[in-house]
Amino acid sequence: MRIHIGADHAGFTLKEAVREHLVEAGHDVTDVGAYSEESVDYPVIAEKVGRAVASGAADRGVIVCGTGLGVAIAANKVRGVRAVQVMTPAFAEMARRHNDANVVTLAGRSIGSDEAFPIVDVFLSTDFEGDRHQRRVDQISAIEAAEACPTPSAL
């Protein structure tokens, strides 16, 4: 699977471990930075990963910051991105099965690689169930489209 991964300074250490884990598992991984613990603004990194996923250059995205929260908010501003902050493998599974999430975000200051690896593995290996969940994901996309191109009555 083609995966774009990124982190800010607070997520750098965990991102490095997750990147190595994904490469060892045979994935095609693109690291968009950060490349050190030097301070960097997380929206810049989140946008890079989000745009790669939205454009189809990547199948999935993984982003790490201190909490995973800021990068999720930022990545979700890119049309087509469904980013979720996940703390357990069970939530990673549900985010794929029901929400067709395409970006997972991790809390580098709260979890270590022992917790992150199973989260990412489940996120990458679980299929979307479709069916009624497709209808709901389509409704999310419709909200997004309406925000991008408001109808005259909404202006």
Residue placing its CB nearer to ligand RB5 in the complex, 107 or 120: 107
The nearest distance, CB 69 to ligand RB5, in angstroms, is 4
DSSP state of 101: -
Known active-site residue 27: no
Residue placing its CB nearer to ligand RB5 in the complex, 13 or 126: 13
Of positions 4, 5, 6, 10, contacts ligand RB5 by CB under 6 A? 10
3-state helix, strand, coil in the chain (%, to 5): 50, 15, 35
With contacts defined by CB under 6 A, name the span among 48-56, 60-68, 87-95, 116-124 that binds ligand RB5.
60-68
Q: How many CA atoms lie within 13 A of 96 on its CB side?
A: 18
Burial of 61 from C-beta contacts in 10 A (0-12 / 13-18 / 19+): buried
Query: Beta strands of the chain (E only): which ranges?
Result: 2-7, 28-31, 60-65, 83-85, 103-107
Q: Which listed residue (4, 21, 65, 149) is catalytic?
A: 65
Q: Which residues are catalytic?
A: 65, 98
* Contacting residues toward ligand RB5, per CB under 6 A: 8, 10, 42, 65-67, 69-70
